[in-house]
Amino acid sequence: MKLQVAIDRVDLDYAVKIANQLDSVVDIIEFGTSLVKDYGLIAIKNSKLNLQHAQLLIDLKTIDEGPYEFDKGFDAGADILTVMGASAVDTIEKVYAIAEEREKDMFIDMMEIHQNKREEISEFSNAIYGIHHAMDAETGFDAVETVAEFHHMFPKISRISVAGGINLEVAQKLAKQGIVESVIVGGGIMKASDPVAMAKKFMEVMN
Amino acid sequence: MKLQVAIDRVDLDYAVKIANQLDSVVDIIEFGTSLVKDYGLIAIKNSKLNLQHAQLLIDLKTIDEGPYEFDKGFDAGADILTVMGASAVDTIEKVYAIAEEREKDMFIDMMEIHQNKREEISEFSNAIYGIHHAMDAETGFDAVETVAEFHHMFPKISRISVAGGINLEVAQKLAKQGIVESVIVGGGIMKASDPVAMAKKFMEVMN
Ligand SMILES: [Mg+2]
Ligand SMILES: [Mg+2]
């Protein structure tokens, strides 16, 4: 199981600095939607980000104009880009084709979509399906249970990622459960006094 | 009926220059999602954009982390910010509260959402409801007919905006129809050899 650290709501310089420090520790570094909307893809592309080990996921949250955004996102250095499951199916098909052609990954954000739409978009065989609640949602979220349910409903989907209040205990349970390809941790690492040390702790309990 | 010109997929310097030129001609200037994702809100805030007459809509397409994005978007100078109807209802409620408190406007992008969700989010009385198809969609779009249907379905919604292949003829028909508060024109103006002259033509046929 891979560890993805989400970096959000910080200065771009700090994001780049901490990403370069986390590079050798974690599997995937996410530049969150807040960094995209605050600073833009051009600034990310021109930054001193220099990952030698970890993959870069840019949380673009594309919901329309898919080809434009995916071209710009991959040009900015991303290995993985996100598209909303709530997009038109045409959008998801178009960005999937781009990801496949560039030998990169498409991550479908499954937030807030209903069963028939889920089924409609469940057959992108190389896609990563990301499950989480809205950060703004006022209801609870049980990652382990939600993953089990999703896997039961879509046994053919092989690449699953989960986010939402993942602490060390939940990360360990998810690793034992053995369903998801990656877990996404944001504040649980980034708000620790020593994010690199905390990322190492997550890697330990997961392996 | 107001004219909103959407500026997209151009250099930020050009976007700012043309926006300042269009300021006295049109009602609303949209800085499109592509400008946000390419350059970021901080660069927009620090740009030489100086609107004296037109309102600024920033097409944030918020789908999560609503309060963070809306605070940043209004801080960047927007009068109107967009949120996806596909967001969690909690997200829409939260950004609506921010827009109301700051005496600004929330624009709900109604793309790709189904009837029960539409109904669920139809009672934000000061919100602008934006109807359009995905730009990536491969199907046609009849703005006049779609507006009539939407109005018939939601007669209580008083603020409606429409986008999607609006040319001079369609703009004139929409003005006569008298339902929408604003029409959004992108390429129809921005790709003209003289965008300011074309914007004036739109204003003429609409009034
Ligand atoms: Mg994120
Ligand atoms: Mg737009």
User: How confident is the model over B180-201, as pLDDT tens digits?
Assistant: 999 999 999 999 999 999 999 9
To the nearest whole angstrom, how far is the Cα of B204 from the nearest Cα of chain A? 30
Nearest CA in chain A to B87: A112
> Which residue type occupies A162?
V
Residue A108 clears pLDDT 90, i.e. is over it:
yes
The verdict on a CB contact (< 8 Å) between A136 and B65 is yes
pLDDT, averaged across chain B: 97
CATH number at residue B148: 3.20.20.70
Work out the average pLDDT over B142-148.
95
Number of separate domains in chain B: 1
Which chain B residues contact residue A131 at CB under 8 A? none
Decide: residue B174, CB within 10 A, 0-12 exposed, 13-18 middle, 19+ buried.
Answer: buried
User: How confident is the model over B13-72, as pLDDT tens digits?
Assistant: 999 999 999 999 999 999 999 999 999 999 999 999 999 999 999 999 999 999 999 999
Assign residue B40 a region (left: φ > 0; alpha: ψ between -120 and 50; beta: otherwise): left
pLDDT of residue B138: 83
Which chain B residues contact residue A90 at CB under 8 A? 134, 136-138
Length of chain A equals 207
Work out the average pLDDT over A171-182.
98
User: How confident is the model over A46-73, as pLDDT tens digits?
Assistant: 999 999 999 999 999 999 999 999 999 9
Give dist(CA A97, CA A101) in Å, integer: 6
Instruction: Name the more confident of B207 and B200.
Output: B200
Length of chain B equals 207
Residue B133 clears pLDDT 90, i.e. is over it:
no
Distance of CA A115 to the CA centre of its chain: 21
* Residue B135: pLDDT band with limits 50, 70, 90: confident
Give dist(CA B115, CA B147) in Å, integer: 15
To the nearest whole angstrom, how far is the Cα of A89 from the nearest Cα of chain B? 8
Considering only CB atoms, B37 lies closest to which of A40, A112, A113, namely: A40
Max CA separation in chain A (angstroms): 44
Give dist(CA A130, CA A152) in Å, integer: 15
Residue B136 clears pLDDT 90, i.e. is over it:
no
Contact A13/B at CB under 8 A: no
Which chain A residues contact residue B36 at CB under 8 A? 37, 40
What residues does A4 pair with on adjacent strands?
A28, A184
Considering only CB atoms, B134 lies closest to which of A38, A41, A88, namely: A88
Work out the average pLDDT over B102-121.
96
Considering only CB atoms, B65 lies closest to which of A33, A42, A72, namely: A33
Contact B11/A at CB under 8 A: no
pLDDT, averaged across chain A: 97
pLDDT of residue B148: 97
pLDDT of residue A46: 98
Instruction: Note the ipTM here.
Output: 0.97
* Domain of residue A82, residue span: 2-206
CB B15 within 8 A of CB B7: yes
The residue of A8, A31, A37, A117 whose CB has the most chain B CBs within 10 angstroms, and thus the best one to mutate to test that interface, is A37
